[in-house]
Structure 1
Amino acid sequence: MLVDALKAEGYRFSLNRVLVFLSVLLTPLLFAVGGVLFHWITKTNGDRAAQAANLPLNTPTDAVNLGEAISFAAANCANGFVLICVLIAAATIYAGDYRWETWRLISARNDRASLILAKVGVVKLIAIVSSLFFLIASFVFFLAQAVVYQRGLSFSIAGDDIGGIALTWLLSYVRIVQFTLIGLLAAVMTRSLLAALIVPWALGFIQSLLGQIGPVLFGMDPGGWPLQLLLPGLAYDTLKAAVQGALEAPLTGAVVWKSLIGLGLWILVPLGAALAWFRKQDLSKE
C-alpha cells in the first residue's frame, strides 16, 4: 500500500512542471550560470587591473582537479537556497490535499500512515535528485574555471576522502529532509500550505539567530547540549566539520553524539508527531 501511495504521489508531483523546476533545477541552474559569470568577470577585472599597472598577466598553470567538484557538491548541496526551493515543493506536497480538499477522496483508498510516508518519500527523492543536479552544476563551475583561466583538467580523489565525501553528502541529504519535516508537521496541524512554507523558514531564521547571539549574550557553549538540541543547523554543521576533520580530536567524540542526537530528534519528533496527529484528524471536510 505504501508503494502504491508513493507511485501516486510521485506521479502527481511529476505533472507539476513549475514545481519540479523550482525544487530540482533552479538552484543548480543559477549556480552553474553564476559560476561561469563569476570566473569570467574575475578574470576580466584581474586582467584589466594588471594592464593598468603594467604588470604581466598572471595565468595559473596548475590543472583544475574535477575531483574537488564532488567534495564541493557534497558539502554545499544543503545550502540555504536549496533548502528553500525544496521546501516549496515539500509544502505543496504536504499541504496540497488540504488546499484542494482532496483528502477525503484518497484517504479511503489507503491507510493514513502510508499516505503521509509516501509524501515524505517523494520529498526524499526530490532531495536526492536536487543533490545530483547540484553535483552537475559543480562540475560546470570547475570546468568554467579551467576554460576561462586556460588551465588543464585532472581528476583525482584520495582513497581516504571517499568515505568522508559520502558521509558529507549523507549529512546534507539528512539536513534537507529534516528541514522539510518541520513543514510536514505545520501542514498537518494547521491544514495550511502557507504555514507549511513559512513555519520552517521562520523557525530556521530564529534558530540561526540564536546560534549567533547565544554564545555571545548568554555564554552558551556551541558544543553543549542546549544549542545542539535546539539548533539542528548547528548539529548538522558540527557533524559535517567532524567528518571533514575540522574539529580537534579531543572535542570530536563528545560533540558528535550530542549533534547526532539533536539532529535525530529533529527528524523523528516532527515525523512522529505528524503521523500521530494525522491519524486522529477529521478529514470529512478536507
Structure 2
Amino acid sequence: MLADALRSEAYRFARNRTTALWSIVFFPVVALVIGLFGQMFMKSKMVEIQGANLPPNLIAGGPLDLGQSLVSVATDMANPITLLFVLIGMATLYAGDYRWETWRLITARNSRLNLVLGKVGVAKLLTLVVLAVMLVCGMIGELGKAIIFARPLTFSMDSETAAKFFELVLLSYIRIVRVGLLGLLAAVMTRSLIATLFVPIVVSIAQAFAGNFIAFVGWTPQSWQPHLLLPNISYDVLKGAILHTPSLTAGGGDGVWPAVLGLLLWCAIPLVAAIAWFTQQDLSKE
C-alpha cells in the first residue's frame, strides 16, 4: 500500500509540469547561464586591462581539475535559493490536497500513514533529482569555464576527494529534506499552501539570525544546546568538518556528533509530529 501511495504521488507530481519546472529546472539553468556570461565578461575585462596582445596562456591559467570541480559544485548545492525553489514543489506536494480539497477522495483508498509517507518519499526523490540537475549544470559551467579561458582539462579523484564529494552531497540532501519536513508540519497544521511555502523559510531565517548570538549565552558549536535548537549550526559544523575548514568548525571537530544528532532530530520530530497531527485530523471537508 505504501508503494501505491508513492506511485500515485509521483505520477501526480510528474503531471504538474509547471511546478516541476520551477522546483527542478529553473534555478540551475538560470545559474548556469548567468555563470557562463559572467565568465565571458571576466575574460573580456582581463583582455581589456592586460592588453589584447597578451599571450593566451597567461589569461587561461592552469589546467582545470574536474575532480576538484565536483567537490566545489557539491559544496554549495543546498544554498538558500535552491531551498526556496525546491520548497515550491514540496509545498504543492504536501498541501496540494488541502488546496484542491481532494483528501477525502484518497483517504478511503489508503491509510493516512501511507499517504503521508508517500508524499515524503516523493519529496526525497524530488530532492535527489534537484541535486542531480544542480550537479550536471554545475559541471557544464565548469566545462564552459575551461572552454572560455582555453584551459586544459584534467581529472583526479583519490579516495579522500571521493569521500568528501559524497559526504557533501549527502549533507545537502539532508538539509533540503529537513527544511521540507518543516513544510510538511506546516501543511498539516495550517492546511495552507502559502504557509507550507513560507513557514520553513521564515523559521530558517530566524534560526540563521539566532545563530549569530549563541556566544552571548555561553554556547559554542561544540556544545549540545545550539544543535538542538539551530540546525543551521549543525549544517555548518558538518560542512566545515568535511572540508577541514576551522572557521566553520570553530576550531575543532568535537561538535560533529552533536551536529549529527541535531540534524536527525530536526528531521524526525517534524515528521513524527506531522503524522500524529494528520492521523487525528478531521478531513470531512477537505
CA distance in 2, matches of 1:56, 1:11: 55
CA displacement, residues 150-201 of structure 1 (integer Å, 9 cap, x when unaligned): 1111111122211221111111101100000000000001111111111100
**Residue equivalent to 1:86:** 86
**Residue equivalent to 1:37:** 37
**Residue equivalent to 2:231:** 232
**Residue type of the alignment partner of 1:140:** I
CA distance in 1, matches of 2:267, 2:157: 32
**Residue equivalent to 1:151:** 151
CA distance in 2, matches of 1:67, 1:149: 18
SS of 1:44's equivalent in the other structure is: helix
Residue 112 of structure 1: how far off its partner (Å): 0.3
CA distance in 2, matches of 1:218, 1:231: 14
Alignment gaps of 5+ in structure 2? none
CA distance in 2, matches of 1:89, 1:9: 12
| Conservation of the 8 A alpha-carbon contact between 1:183 and 1:200 | yes
**Residue equivalent to 1:180:** 180
| Conservation of the 8 A alpha-carbon contact between 1:61 and 1:152 | no
| Conservation of the 8 A alpha-carbon contact between 2:90 and 2:183 | yes
Residue 136 of structure 1: how far off its partner (Å): 0.7
Map of 1:9-158 to 2, 5 A cutoff? 9-51=9-51, 58-158=58-158
Matched, 1:251 2:265: no
**Residue type of the alignment partner of 2:281:** Q
Q: What's the RMSD between the two structures over aligned residues?
A: 1.9
| Conservation of the 8 A alpha-carbon contact between 2:221 and 2:250 | no
| Conservation of the 8 A alpha-carbon contact between 2:221 and 2:255 | no
Residue 61 of structure 1: how far off its partner (Å): 4.2
| Conservation of the 8 A alpha-carbon contact between 1:6 and 1:122 | yes
CA distance in 2, matches of 1:126, 1:105: 24
| Conservation of the 8 A alpha-carbon contact between 1:185 and 1:274 | yes
**Residue equivalent to 1:242:** 241
CA spacing shift, 1:47–1:219, aligned 2, 3 Å? farther
**Residue equivalent to 2:203:** 203
**Residue equivalent to 2:6:** 6
**Residue type of the alignment partner of 2:220:** D
CA distance in 2, matches of 1:246, 1:112: 44
**Residue equivalent to 2:168:** 168
Residue 68 of structure 1: how far off its partner (Å): 2.1
| Conservation of the 8 A alpha-carbon contact between 1:72 and 1:138 | no
**Residue type of the alignment partner of 1:197:** L
Residue 250 of structure 1: how far off its partner (Å): 7.9
Residue 214 of structure 1: how far off its partner (Å): 3.4
Residues 151-160 or 261-270, more deviating: 151-160
**What percentage of residue pairs aligned between the two structures are identical?**
43
SS of 2:178's equivalent in the other structure is: helix
CA distance in 2, matches of 1:154, 1:163: 19
CA distance in 2, matches of 1:14, 1:192: 22
SS of 1:251's equivalent in the other structure is: coil
| Conservation of the 8 A alpha-carbon contact between 1:50 and 1:56 | no
CA distance in 2, matches of 1:78, 1:281: 33
Residue 38 of structure 1: how far off its partner (Å): 1.3
Alignment gaps of 5+ in structure 1? none
Residue 218 of structure 1: how far off its partner (Å): 4.3
CA distance in 2, matches of 1:240, 1:28: 21
SS of 1:84's equivalent in the other structure is: helix
CA distance in 2, matches of 1:169, 1:192: 31
CA distance in 2, matches of 1:143, 1:168: 21
CA spacing shift, 1:39–1:176, aligned 2, 3 Å? same
| Conservation of the 8 A alpha-carbon contact between 1:35 and 1:144 | no
Residue 222 of structure 1: how far off its partner (Å): 3.0
CA spacing shift, 1:210–1:50, aligned 2, 3 Å? same
How many residues align? The count is 283
